[in-house]
Amino acid sequence: MQDPETGTQPTQASQHHDAGAHGQGGDAHAHDHAPHLAHHFDTPTQQFESGKLGMWVFLATEILMFGGLFAAYGMYRGNHPEIYLYAHHYLDTTLGAINTIILLASSFTVAWGVRAAQKGQRKLLVTLLLLTLLGGFGFMGIKAIEYTSKFTHDLWPGSANMFYNPTLNPMFADANDPRAAQLEAIRHLEEYYGIRGGHGGGGHGGGHAGAIEQPRITLTDDADPGDAEAASGQGEAPGPSPAVERSMINPPAVGAGGLSEEALGEAPSHVAPHMPAAAAGATLTYEDLPPTEQSRAHMFFQIYYMMTGLHAVHVLVGLGLISWITVRSFRGAFGPAYYTPVDLVGLYWHLVDLIWIFLFPLLYLIH
Amino acid sequence: MTDDHAHESPRQASTSTELHAPDHDAHAAGHAAPLWLLAAVFAALLVLTGATVAVTQIQLGPLNVWLALLIATVKAALVVLYFMHLRWDSPFNATILISALLFVAVLTGAVIHDSREYRPLLDRPQSTPRRVAVAGQRDRRRPSRAGCGTAGTRDGAK
Amino acid sequence: MSANPQATDIYGKPLPADADNYLTHSRGIASWLLTLDHKRIGIMYMVAILTFFFVGGVFALLLRTELLTPEATIGTAVGMSEDEAYRFYNQMFTLHGAVMVFLFIIPAIPAILGNIILPMMVGAKDVAFPRLNLASWYLYMIGGTFFLWVLAKGVLNSLFPALAGFWGGGGLDTGWTFYTPYSSSASGTAVIAAVFGAFVLGFSSILTGVNFIATIHMLRAPNQGWFRLPLFLWALYATAIIQILATPVLAITLLLLAAERILGIGVFDPARGGDPVLFQHFFWFYSHPAVYIMVLPAFGVISEIISSFSRKHIFGYKFIAFSSVAIALLGFLVWGHHMFVSGQSAAANVIFSLLTFSVAIPSAIKVFNWVTTMYKGAIRLDTPMLFAMGFIMLFTIGGLTGLFLGALAVDIHVHDTYFIVAHFHFVMVGSMMFAFLGGMFYWFPKMFGKMYNEFWGRVAAAVIFIGFNLTFYIQFVAGSQGMPRRYATYLPEFQVHHVTSTIGAYVLAIGLLMVLANWIHSLVKGRPAPANPWGHNSLEWHTASPPPHENFLRAPRGSDPYHFDQWHYDETIDGYVLDPEQPAGAAAPQPAPAHQR
Contact A44, A37 (CB under 8 A): yes
Which alpha helices (H) appear in A153-214, and where do they start and end? Answer: 178-192
Confidence of residue C201 (pLDDT cuts 50, 70, 90): very high
Chain C residues touching residue A304 (CB < 8 angstroms) = none
Confidence of residue C5 (pLDDT cuts 50, 70, 90): low
- Residue type at position C284: W
Shortest distance, CA B6 to any CA of chain C (angstroms): 7
pLDDT (tens digit per residue) in C428-438: 999 999 999 99
Q: Which residue has the higher pLDDT, A85 or B31?
A: A85
Examine the pLDDT at C376 and tell me if it is beyond 60. Answer: yes
Q: So what's the pLDDT on residue B30?
A: 60
Average pLDDT value for residue range C528-548: 93
Instruction: Name the residue among C583, C563, C443, C556 with its Cα closest to residue C124.
Output: C556
Out of C219, C252, C259, the one facing A65 most closely (by C-beta) is C252
ipTM score: 0.92
Average pLDDT value for residue range C460-482: 96
C237 vs A53: CA distance, rounded Å: 14
Examine the pLDDT at A293 and tell me if it is beyond 90. Answer: no
Q: Is C47 on the interface with B (CB under 8 A)?
A: no
With a CB cutoff of 8 Å and minimum separation 6, the contacts of A61 are B100, C206, C210, C244, C245, C247, C248
C122 vs A99: CA distance, rounded Å: 47
Shortest distance, CA C342 to any CA of chain B (angstroms): 7
Q: Is B79 on the interface with C (CB under 8 A)?
A: no
Shortest distance, CA C107 to any CA of chain A (angstroms): 18
**Is the Cβ pair C273, A165 closer than 8 Å?**
yes
A220: helix, strand or coil: coil
| Range with the poorest average pLDDT among A343-352, B87-96, B129-138, C60-69 | B129-138
**Is the Cβ pair C336, B110 closer than 8 Å?**
yes
First-to-last CA distance in chain C? 36
Q: Which residue has the higher pLDDT, A182 or A29?
A: A182
Examine the pLDDT at B154 and tell me if it is beyond 90. Answer: no
Q: What is the dihedral of CA C404, C405, C410, C411, to 10 degrees?
A: 180
Percent of chain C scoring above 90 in pLDDT: 81
Q: Which residue has the higher pLDDT, C547 or B6?
A: C547
| Range with the poorest average pLDDT among A68-77, A236-245, A335-344 | A236-245
Helix (H) or strand (E) holding C326: helix C317-330
Examine the pLDDT at B150 and tell me if it is beyond 70. Answer: no
A9: helix, strand or coil: helix
Q: So what's the pLDDT on residue C167?
A: 87
**Is the Cβ pair B110, C281 closer than 8 Å?**
yes
C377 vs A223: CA distance, rounded Å: 86
Q: Report how far apart, in Å, the C-alpha atoms of C289 and of each of A348, B119, C204, C246, C292 are.
A: 26, 26, 17, 7, 5
Residues 276-305 of C with CB under 8 A from B: 277-278, 281-282, 285
C473 vs C507: CA distance, rounded Å: 14
Average pLDDT value for residue range C5-17: 82
Which alpha helices (H) appear in C426-539, and where do they start and end? Answer: 434-448, 454-480, 495-525
Q: Which residue has the higher pLDDT, C355 or A211?
A: C355
B104 vs B96: CA distance, rounded Å: 12
Confidence of residue A243 (pLDDT cuts 50, 70, 90): very low
Q: Is C251 on the interface with A (CB under 8 A)?
A: yes
CB contact burial A276-288 (16+ within 10 A = b; e otherwise): eeebbbbbbbbbb
Cα atoms in the 13 Å half-sphere on the side-chain side of A168: 20
Chain C, nearest residue to B146 by Cα: C346
Mean pLDDT of chain B: 71
| Range with the poorest average pLDDT among B17-21, C459-463, C556-560 | B17-21
Q: Which residue has the higher pLDDT, B46 or A288?
A: B46
How many Cβ atoms from other residues are within 10 Å of residue C194's Cβ?
28
Out of A75, A107, A281, the one facing B83 most closely (by C-beta) is A107
Q: Is C152 on the interface with B (CB under 8 A)?
A: no
Shortest distance, CA A231 to any CA of chain B (angstroms): 12
Confidence of residue A253 (pLDDT cuts 50, 70, 90): very low
Query: A–C: how many Cβ contacts below 8 A?
Result: 151
A285 vs C237: CA distance, rounded Å: 53
Average pLDDT value for residue range C471-498: 95
Residues 204-243 of A with CB under 8 A from B: 211-212, 234-236, 240
Examine the pLDDT at C542 and tell me if it is beyond 80. Answer: yes
Chain A, nearest residue to C268 by Cα: A72
Report residue A194: phi and psi, to 5°: 75, 15
Q: Is B111 on the interface with C (CB under 8 A)?
A: yes
**Is the Cβ pair B150, C219 closer than 8 Å?**
no
Examine the pLDDT at C591 and tell me if it is beyond 80. Answer: no
C348 vs C340: CA distance, rounded Å: 9
C570: helix, strand or coil: strand
Q: So what's the pLDDT on residue A173?
A: 82
Chain A, nearest residue to C37 by Cα: A40
Shortest distance, CA B23 to any CA of chain A (angstroms): 11
State the DSSP code for C528.
B
| Range with the poorest average pLDDT among C156-160, C285-289, C583-587 | C583-587
Average pLDDT value for residue range A221-240: 38
Confidence of residue C231 (pLDDT cuts 50, 70, 90): very high
**Is the Cβ pair A212, B39 closer than 8 Å?**
no
Confidence of residue C4 (pLDDT cuts 50, 70, 90): low
- Residue type at position C225: G
C42 vs C20: CA distance, rounded Å: 18
Q: So what's the pLDDT on residue C572?
A: 87
Confidence of residue B139 (pLDDT cuts 50, 70, 90): very low
Out of A50, A67, A306, the one facing C249 most closely (by C-beta) is A67
Bridge partners of C568? Answer: C577
Summarize chain B as % helix, strand, coil (round to 5).
75, 0, 25
C269 vs A360: CA distance, rounded Å: 27
With a CB cutoff of 8 Å and minimum separation 6, the contacts of C293 are C106, C110, C205, C239, C242, C243, C246
Examine the pLDDT at C233 and tell me if it is beyond 90. Answer: yes
Chain A, nearest residue to C119 by Cα: A40
C261 vs C172: CA distance, rounded Å: 14
With a CB cutoff of 8 Å and minimum separation 6, the contacts of C345 are B113, B114, B117, B118, B148, B150
Q: Is C574 exposed, middle or buried (0-12, 13-18, 19+ CB in 10 A)?
A: middle
Chain B residues touching residue A18 (CB < 8 angstroms) = 25-26, 29
Helix (H) or strand (E) holding C86: helix C82-98
Bridge partners of B20? Answer: none
Examine the pLDDT at C6 and tell me if it is beyond 80. Answer: no
Per the rule left: phi > 0, alpha: psi between -120 and 50, beta: everything else, C16 is beta
Examine the pLDDT at A239 and tell me if it is beyond 60. Answer: no
- Residue type at position A5: E
Q: Is C7 exposed, middle or buried (0-12, 13-18, 19+ CB in 10 A)?
A: buried
Average pLDDT value for residue range A179-193: 89
Bridge partners of C576? Answer: C569
Confidence of residue C39 (pLDDT cuts 50, 70, 90): very high
A1 vs A165: CA distance, rounded Å: 34
| Global pTM value | 0.85
Examine the pLDDT at C489 and tell me if it is beyond 80. Answer: yes
Bridge partners of A266? Answer: none
Q: Is C20 on the interface with A (CB under 8 A)?
A: no
Cα C580 from chain centroid (whole Å): 38
B45 vs B47: CA distance, rounded Å: 5
- Residue type at position C362: P
**Is the Cβ pair B107, C325 closer than 8 Å?**
no
Q: So what's the pLDDT on residue C582?
A: 63
Out of A76-90, C17-31, C133-147, C178-192, the most confident range is: C133-147
pLDDT (tens digit per residue) in C313-336: 999 999 999 999 999 999 999 999
**Is the Cβ pair C225, B7 closer than 8 Å?**
yes
Q: So what's the pLDDT on residue A21?
A: 34
How many Cβ atoms from other residues are within 10 Å of residue C81's Cβ?
11
Mean pLDDT of chain C: 92
Q: So what's the pLDDT on residue C81?
A: 87
C400 vs C314: CA distance, rounded Å: 24
Contact C109, C292 (CB under 8 A): no
- DSSP per residue, C264-280: ---TT-GGGT--HHHHH
How many Cβ atoms from other residues are within 10 Å of residue A357's Cβ?
25
Examine the pLDDT at A335 and tell me if it is beyond 80. Answer: yes
Chain B residues touching residue A46 (CB < 8 angstroms) = 10-11, 14
Whether a cis peptide bond, with omega within 30° of 0, leads into C546 is: yes
Which alpha helices (H) appear in chain A, and where do they start and end? Answer: 3-7, 18-25, 44-79, 81-87, 93-119, 122-152, 178-192, 225-231, 242-249, 262-265, 291-294, 298-330, 340-359
With a CB cutoff of 8 Å and minimum separation 6, the contacts of C510 are C463, C467
Average pLDDT value for residue range C376-398: 96
pLDDT (tens digit per residue) in A138-181: 999 999 999 999 999 889 998 889 898 888 888 888 888 888 88
Confidence of residue C158 (pLDDT cuts 50, 70, 90): confident
Chain A residues touching residue C273 (CB < 8 angstroms) = 165, 295-296, 298-299
Chain A, nearest residue to C550 by Cα: A40
Contact C317, C306 (CB under 8 A): no
Q: So what's the pLDDT on residue A282?
A: 55
Examine the pLDDT at A362 and tell me if it is beyond 90. Answer: yes
Examine the pLDDT at A218 and tell me if it is beyond 70. Answer: no
Q: Which residue has the higher pLDDT, B24 or C138?
A: C138
**Is the Cβ pair B113, A256 closer than 8 Å?**
yes
Contact A300, A87 (CB under 8 A): yes
Chain A residues touching residue C206 (CB < 8 angstroms) = 58, 61
pLDDT (tens digit per residue) in C394-448: 999 999 999 999 999 999 999 999 999 999 999 999 999 999 999 999 999 999 9
**Is the Cβ pair C223, B113 closer than 8 Å?**
no
Q: Is B18 on the interface with C (CB under 8 A)?
A: no
Q: So what's the pLDDT on residue A201?
A: 37
Chain C residues touching residue B8 (CB < 8 angstroms) = 225
| Range with the poorest average pLDDT among A142-146, A278-282, C359-363, C524-528 | A278-282
Q: Which residue has the higher pLDDT, A210 or C399?
A: C399
| Range with the poorest average pLDDT among A185-199, A353-367, C398-412 | A185-199
Examine the pLDDT at A232 and tell me if it is beyond 70. Answer: no
**Is the Cβ pair B114, C344 closer than 8 Å?**
yes
Whether a cis peptide bond, with omega within 30° of 0, leads into C484 is: no
Q: Is C328 exposed, middle or buried (0-12, 13-18, 19+ CB in 10 A)?
A: buried
Q: Is C209 on the interface with A (CB under 8 A)?
A: yes
**Is the Cβ pair C333, B10 closer than 8 Å?**
no
Percent of chain B scoring above 70 in pLDDT: 58
Percent of chain A scoring above 70 in pLDDT: 67
Chain C residues touching residue B12 (CB < 8 angstroms) = 222-223
A103 vs C456: CA distance, rounded Å: 64
- DSSP per residue, C460-484: HHHHHHHHHHHHHHHHHHHHHTT-B
Out of C221, C228, C332, the one facing B103 most closely (by C-beta) is C332
Chain A residues touching residue B84 (CB < 8 angstroms) = 111, 346-347, 350
Q: Which chains are adjacent to chain A, needing at least 3 Cβ pairs under 8 Å?
A: B, C
